């Protein structure tokens, strides 16, 4: 699907912060609409409808990525600002790898489970978009540091009680104590992203699982428990790319990307970027990142789901504030 001409003009001509606001608004408008059909088919259709936006951001507007960190607040910093702006009675729920694709279920199910969505929008992942960099931005070495109230003195949200666990949602609510401040990090859906990355699975399977998980009363029992007497923010460390829907890179470019990234989408190598213009990769912050919707041949096959590169649904994540209704 092509982009509206006026949207293309705004992205190409507005200052970077305003251009990124246009990018985020368009992606949100595509992803946040209620899903009325099979979630697998809807997810694929929506991903394909954003192909032109990613093509623009890896082509004529590729330089906007250089301004991402100064134009879109990081979810980590937005959490810190929100925390500092409210008294005790705060809770954060981190769903690892949650993308804008899952927003319809969160918006559509909240009220039925006694919750009001106060604000809903997007922020950005860390650069690169992976769990470790996000955890470090929160003041802990890994997400596992939050397990059983284990966050150390450097944690950004002291004196919150913390938890990180991969147990089923039906058992999670019992881990939320009575302390006024809580931070809970669950590895879903990132676990599912990696489990469903082999060929033959991919986005449709993940979308159906997300529909089931985010309509399950067990998930909402956790959300309600966290929001009991607390204001709650639900967000994510990074999104993910449906790389199974990406286009194959030209042969020379594909060999270059394979040698650099293997079957991933980021690398700590900060040498000179490739010779192409528009580029196939960019060096930002602490890493080199694959740019746009490119995939390449590699031993074992390129995964159908991945994260760490520069595409809209990898780098923009949901940021929702909720509260319980009386």
- Whether residue 264 is contained in a domain is answered as no
- Whether residue 133 is contained in a domain is answered as yes
- Whether residue 211 is contained in a domain is answered as yes
Nearest to 175 by CA among 188, 187, 162: 162
Per-residue pLDDT tens digits of the chain, which is 326 residues long: 689 999 999 999 999 999 999 999 999 999 999 999 899 999 999 999 999 999 999 999 999 999 999 999 999 999 999 999 999 999 999 999 999 999 999 999 999 999 999 999 999 999 999 999 999 999 999 999 999 999 999 999 999 999 999 999 999 999 999 999 999 999 999 999 999 999 888 999 999 999 999 999 999 999 999 999 999 999 999 999 999 999 999 999 999 999 999 999 999 987 887 899 999 999 998 799 999 999 999 998 999 999 999 999 999 999 999 999 97
Buried b (16+ CB within 10 A) or exposed e, 61-75: bbebbeebeebbbbb
Torsion of CA 123, 129, 133, 134, to 10 degrees: 30
Number of domains in the chain: 1
- Whether residue 208 is contained in a domain is answered as yes
Within the chain, strands assigned E span 90-95, 115-124, 161-164, 181-186, 231-235, 247-248, 266-267, 281-284, 287-290, 294-295, 316-324
Q: Which domain holds residue 183?
A: 73-241+312-324
- Whether residue 46 is contained in a domain is answered as no
Within 156-300, strands assigned E span 161-164, 181-186, 231-235, 247-248, 266-267, 281-284, 287-290, 294-295
- Whether residue 28 is contained in a domain is answered as no
């Amino acid at each position: 699907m092509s982009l509206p001409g006026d949207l293309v003009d705004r992205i190409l001509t507005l200052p970077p912060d305003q251009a990124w606001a246009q990018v985020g608004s368009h992606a949100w408008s595509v992803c946040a609409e209620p899903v009325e059909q099979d979630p697998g088919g809807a997810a694929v259709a929506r991903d394909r409808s954003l192909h032109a936006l990613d093509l623009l951001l890896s082509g004529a507007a590729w330089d906007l990525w250089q301004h991402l960190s100064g134009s879109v607040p990081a979810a980590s910093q937005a959490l810190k600002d929100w925390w500092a702006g409210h008294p005790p009675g705060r809770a954060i729920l981190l769903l690892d790898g949650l993308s804008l694709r899952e927003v319809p279920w969160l918006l559509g199910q909240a009220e039925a489970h006694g919750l009001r969505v106060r604000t809903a929008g997007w922020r950005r992942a860390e650069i690169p978009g992976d769990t470790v960099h996000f955890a470090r931005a929160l003041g802990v070495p890994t997400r596992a540091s939050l397990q059983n109230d284990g966050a150390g003195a450097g944690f950004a949200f002291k004196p919150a009680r913390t938890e990180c666990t991969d147990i089923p949602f039906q058992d999670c609510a019992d881990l939320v104590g009575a302390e006024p401040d809580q931070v809970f990090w669950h590895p879903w859906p990132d676990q599912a992203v990696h489990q469903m990355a082999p060929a033959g699975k991919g986005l449709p399977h993940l979308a159906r699982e997300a529909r089931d998980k985010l309509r399950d009363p067990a998930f909402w029992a956790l959300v309600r428990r966290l929001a009991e007497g607390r204001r709650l923010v639900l967000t994510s460390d990074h999104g993910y790319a449906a790389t199974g829907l990406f286009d194959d890179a030209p042969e020379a470019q594909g060999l270059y990307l394979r040698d650099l990234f293997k079957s991933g989408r980021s690398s700590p190598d900060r040498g000179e970027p490739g010779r192409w213009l528009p580029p196939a990769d960019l060096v930002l912050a602490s890493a080199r990142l694959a740019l746009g919707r490119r995939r390449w041949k590699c031993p074992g096959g390129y995964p159908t789901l991945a994260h760490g590169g520069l595409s809209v649904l990898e780098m923009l994540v949901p940021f929702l504030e909720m509260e319980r209704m009386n």
